[in-house]
Chain A
Amino acid sequence: MNLTNLLRQVSLRHIKYQKAQTLLALAGISLGVAAIVSIAIVNKSVLRSFEESFQNATGRAALQVTGAQSGFPEEILDKVRSVAGVEYAVPVVETDGLLAAGKERSIMILGVDVLTDGQIRSYSLAQENADIPDPLLFLARPDSILITRAMAEREGIVIDQKIRVETVLGTRTFRVRGILNPEGPAKVMGGNLAVMDIYAAQMAFGKEGRIDRVDISLMKGEELEAVRGRIRAAIPQGYTVETPAGRTRQIEGMLSKFQTGLNLISIFAIVVGMYLIYNAVSISIVQRRKEIGILRALGVTRGEIMRLFLAETLVISIVASLLGVAIGILFAGSIVGVLGKIVSIWYARTAVTGISVSWLHPVTGIACGIAASLAAAIFPVLAGSRISPISAIRSAPWSEEGFFTGKRLNRAALFFILLAASVYALYRFAGFSPLLRSSGFLFSSQIFFLLGLSLVTPAFLRGFLTLFHRLLAYRLGSTGMLAGLNLGKNINRNAVAVAAIFFGISVFVNSAGFVYSIKSSVTIWLDAVVRADIIVSDGHPSSSTNAQTIPMPVDIWRDIEKVPGVRSADPWRKLYMDYKGKRVLLSSVDMVRRGEYSHFMVVQGREQELRRLLPNKDNVVVSEPFAEQFGVKPGDFITIPTPSGPVRCGVVAVVVDYLYDSGTICMDINTFQRHWGDRLADHFSVRVKPGEDISRVKDAIQRQLGTDRKLYVLPVREFKEEIRKAMDQTFVFNYALSIITMTIAGFGIIITLLASVLERTREIGILRSIGMLRWQVSAVVLLESLLMGTAGGILGCVAGILTGRLTLEGARYSSAVEYFIPAGTIVWALFMAAGLAAVAGIYPAHRAAKTNVVEALTYE
């Protein structure tokens, strides 16, 4: 009999009878594949949006010169223009603004020399390319602004209309002099872009004489690297001369940890799906052992039996993977905006307008689905093929042939746990080997550990049931005794369902522990560092880390101090800069004023040394990720690029700082102003006089200073609450993927219980015929389910705590993040495991209770 015939005659019939089981296995793999595909798509889409933005915003620029975020003197432009091989060099001022009407949408404002910019970017003020009724007026008036057609349509703005925009210098009114068609830069940020003439932008945003970037095109035939070298030689140190693609790579590097984290979580989902396939195939083999015996007796070889079951799995996995790809694409479309928002809040501003699907996504999804299914099926299939024909025909209905059992299982468990330990040891002692020190490598140790632990599940379940019999079963009467016995009878099969629950719960607890630890560590740090009473900022409270802040003139602190009830106010300024090719955060505070009430959490170095941070001393403290990344310790010197040239700074201490996970340098604001020539602040920390009512002072600040600019004046408690909310938003994907894994685990329980009920049809019939009531049958099945859920939950919580620590270590969010056991989540996870299992048991219980006694007794 060939394989096609076997599939048609044997497998199809089985699938027809076991529709629910097949569908659930299919759903499990589909969800796993969907998770992988959707995460891959959204990750790609976010990067693509950055890439497109850069491409559109940079036009035909081959190189870009950037300095610190605060900009640099215009004279640099002349130096670049004089370099041999430079065809055109055009200046750019890039800043953010908030529309003061509607949804207060954040926009990117590009200040370009419109007279020369057409040489680099593909737009012009010609009537054919844009709707600008009077280009001369646009150039002549400093309040002129051009907006994109997309923005005009979305916000209902028309030409000649005045719009109010929050800027560095407060709320400014601009007049829309034209609409840009969606081409070139007008496509950047999903159209959330406005263009101004460079001199108008400089005036409006307090950047007179300064530019943020120079975009350069090269003369024909010039070597890019040669020109880059000449430009580097022509301008002072501290400037970055990068290709637009290099800037995309920088963003890619910045997001890599976050995106890797998401990818790893999605892999968990497919691993849970593997449990489901393992479970389904094992049960299928057990249920069809007589069939296997007959086929073997008829001359079908072991190899053919193996191929038959693998072919079944292949067919199911192909269908499931295709379905998973479709669900994944749909899912990606609905979550891509959320991810874009998270990236915008914490990393860099982007507007992801749609998903970017390549042929690689479905191919990867399908390959993962098929590979995972076949890998999960291979062991039960191997075991099934070894069933001897006579044993198969004679065996009892609850025979466990088809599962790996006994010593072999324990040996495999030990192997995987030892493998996990070895991988972890390698990771720990690998120094800075990029491959071994990667989060992906550490993740593999987690997977091995979980695999090892899941192979221990039968032993654990046996122990758990023993405890149950001793402590609880007799109290529950015959229902408890029967449930315990039933579970004990098919320990290996039930262990697979327990393992699925265990895996789901471990992912959930792992994720929750990771999130909880970060939140707790950040909260402790915030409490230590943010000790003022009120925070005054010009953007959302999460602006402490994001790229959407609109800075304010630093001297506002003097106005704040004039408000009755204010004891003191001090500024904080942050900007991103390139340090040795990596983007790091430069944070500056008034050390004298801040030192009176707030302090650093010093990890390396002495607190007394912090005095060296005082104004006009070129000393800094650095965060732990910075110290680790660049191999810096107290007493070392680092050379920081500044607009006035490189500055050698002494490192006073290494401190805890969660502002930016790629690393932070902190210095006194006066020192910063001296080197950067920047007189702006991102927020002000305000202390209130003793006995003063904080909310009254807050209102007074808002009243006195909030007239010409939109101010966020928040009591510190609310400020911290907003930061917590923003963090919660960031971890929404962790929560979502936990739910997916739990759902897949729930399918596993349903499959196991349905199989169990089906096999015990005759037994249930006997119990019913001797007087057992329908509800009692239901109760037994439900209790079995509950017990499996609880066992899986307990093991999952333990595994989740252990792997959570590894995840935190691997994420290297910051080495200072301490692991906190998420006690509340663990209790919730236990209830959830038991509850989910109970819910999953409802249908099998209902089906068991409906069993017809006469039919059941004749069931074979």
Chain B
Amino acid sequence: MLAREDVLHVARLARLGLDEDELERMGSELSAVLDHVERIRELDLDDVEPTSHAVDVAGVMRPDEPAPCLERDVILAAAPEPVDGGFGVPSPGSGGE
């Protein structure tokens, strides 16, 4: 069973706000899933190469040709808070880690 501190630690890594109720449920739900998936740890796969991509398309190259991109105002139209032609964000403050 994942301890409350573990859940809080992972939520912090993911920058994910969880309320009390969610914290509680997350611990037991993740534990149930981890208990299931953990079985693959018993397989002896020491000599097996990992696969991160199933279809072999290594070494894809293309000519490096400049092409137009979207206009600044088109991109900023979707932003919650455009400021002076850029993305507005709150102060980094001291809340970061």
A and B interact: no
Which residues of B are interface residues toward A (Cβ below 8 A)? none
